């Protein structure tokens, strides 16, 4: 890991000037596009046509923007879910499962209430039901963590599989309340119109507003309230926080409940705004896991989660158009991964300074704690 320290020295920047703050990601993007261009050329494709297509599909014009934003909506919410937990150094890897539970609980409310219920009440009930479901699901991991110090990485991760099995059971394995009995290939009952999130434009629905409001609220909660201060203090040093009289145990429960609730709202947003019924295949598309990546890249800052999600969605949304101009799907995935990886790797140079040093005695080793990234992320 530290094989390079003999030649290079990495030291944290105290303050990143605007030039560094915005210049480095921009340079990283250029580097990614050049490398990607070489790969495209090697694969026999025209890089300029490819980038033009990517831009046209994702960002060029309002209709392209709406599809990027629609794809970003659940990612923002699962990104926030991971971010709030990471702020306290609680590693909730269970966003995926909490999203399923949110979709199950939210669609339950949508199907159980009379179809004539006004949309405002219907959607509110779905959001509340979903969030409570996700929070309770997260507490299954939070309680053992708080009282028995059980590793939440393992428990939240494993609960994803339980949640997936539960969702599959409800649709494929039983004649449950959610399953449409008229369908021979199992699928969920359609939600009534009042339970479907109204469209803002094209496929973009009001879930995006919920997601952005949630981001601002969470930022305010973490930065401007004493609750948030305590969360961050516990994240920095649990023993110091305990010494100062903070209840780490209660905060663990609260933070995981909030985290689970946010991921569950992503599930409600998907089930109500996109799939319009409990459809396991359309819901199990790694939105929760992607949220973890987003939170890490956004350095757990709720306001950073929004642009990172949109950036990731913009890269991802051009998959089918890139294929349709003759680029092999493997090259498409490679290109998407490359751009995201390079730009996010560039963040390292925003936070840190890299210097050449002459091979000298190893007295001045570098402290490892240079970033906010969770352990294992680098």
Binding mask 256-285 for other proteins (x = CB under 8 A): --------------x---xxxx-xxxxxxx
Nearer to other proteins, 176 or 247 (CB): 176
Query: CB of residue 14 vs other proteins: minimum separation in angstroms?
Result: 25
What 3-state DSSP class applies to 87?
helix
Binding mask 164-193 for other proteins (x = CB under 8 A): xx--xx--xxxx------xxxxxx------
Q: Which residue has the tokens 């119109």?
A: 193
Interaction with other proteins in 149-168: which residues (CB under 8 A)? 153, 157, 160-161, 164-165, 168
Interaction with other proteins in 202-261: which residues (CB under 8 A)? 203
Task: Give the separation between CA 174 and CA 170, rounded to whole angstroms.
Answer: 6
Nearer to other proteins, 126 or 241 (CB): 126
Other C-beta atoms closer than 10 Å to the C-beta of 173 total 13
The answer to whether the Cα torsion of 254, 257, 263, 268 is positive or negative is negative
Q: What is the DSSP string of 317-369?
A: TTHHHHHHTT--HHHHHHHHHHHHHHHHHHHHHHHEEEEE--S--TT-PPPS-
Which residue among 151, 236, 286, 355 contacts other proteins (CB under 8 A)? Answer: 286
Task: Give the separation between CA 139 and CA 148, rounded to whole angstroms.
Answer: 13
Interaction with other proteins in 73-112: which residues (CB under 8 A)? 93, 96
Q: What is the CA radius of gyration of the chain?
A: 22
Nearest to 288 by CA among 128, 154, 100, 87: 100
Stretch that binds other proteins, among 101-109, 125-133, 247-255, 291-299 (CB under 8 A): 291-299
CB 302 within 8 A of CB 218: yes
Query: CB of residue 65 vs other proteins: minimum separation in angstroms?
Result: 13
Tokens of 165: 């099995």
Which residue among 20, 128, 338, 351 contacts other proteins (CB under 8 A)? Answer: 338
Applying CB under 8 A, which residues contact other proteins? Answer: 39, 42-44, 57, 67, 70-71, 93, 96, 153, 157, 160-161, 164-165, 168-169, 172-175, 182-187, 203, 270, 274-277, 279-286, 289, 292-293, 296, 316-317, 319-321, 323-324, 326, 328-331, 333-334, 337-338, 340-341, 376-378
């Amino acid at each position: 890991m530290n094989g390079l320290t003999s030649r290079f020295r990495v030291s944290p920047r105290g303050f990143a000037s605007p030039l560094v703050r915005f210049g480095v990601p921009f340079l990283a993007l250029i580097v990614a596009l050049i490398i990607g261009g070489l790969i495209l050329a090697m694969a026999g494709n025209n890089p300029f046509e490819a980038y033009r297509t990517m831009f046209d599909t994702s960002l060029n014009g309002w209709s392209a923007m709406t599809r990027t934003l629609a794809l970003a909506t659940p990612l923002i919410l699962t990104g926030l879910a991971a971010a709030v937990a990471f702020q306290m150094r609680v590693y909730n890897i269970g966003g995926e499962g909490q999203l399923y539970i949110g979709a199950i609980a939210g669609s339950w409310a949508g199907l159980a209430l009379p179809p004539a219920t006004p949309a405002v009440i219907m959607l509110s009930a779905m959001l509340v039901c979903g969030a409570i479901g996700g929070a309770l699901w997260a507490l299954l991991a939070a309680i053992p963590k708080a009282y028995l110090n059980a590793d939440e990485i393992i428990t939240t991760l494993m609960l994803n599989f339980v949640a997936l099995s539960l969702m599959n059971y409800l649709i494929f394995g039983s004649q449950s309340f959610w399953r449409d009995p008229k369908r021979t290939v199992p699928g969920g009952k359609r939600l009534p119109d009042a339970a479907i999130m109204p469209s803002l434009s094209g496929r973009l629905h009001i879930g995006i507003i919920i997601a952005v409001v949630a981001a601002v609220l969470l930022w305010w909660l973490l930065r401007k309230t004493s609750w948030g201060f305590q969360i961050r203090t516990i994240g920095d040093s649990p023993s110091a926080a305990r010494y100062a009289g903070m209840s780490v145990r209660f905060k663990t429960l609260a933070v995981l409940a909030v985290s689970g609730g946010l991921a569950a709202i992503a599930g409600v947003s998907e089930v109500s705004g996109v799939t319009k019924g409990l459809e396991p295949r359309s819901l199990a598309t790694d939105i929760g896991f992607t949220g973890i990546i987003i939170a890490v890249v956004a350095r757990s800052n709720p306001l950073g989660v929004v642009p990172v999600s949109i950036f990731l969605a913009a890269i991802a949304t051009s998959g089918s158009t890139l294929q349709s101009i003759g680029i092999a799907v493997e090259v498409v995935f490679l290109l998407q991964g490359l751009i995201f990886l390079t730009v996010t790797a560039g963040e390292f140079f925003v936070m840190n300074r890299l210097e050449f040093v002459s091979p000298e005695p190893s007295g001045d080793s570098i402290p490892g704690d240079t970033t906010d990234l969770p352990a294992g992320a680098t």
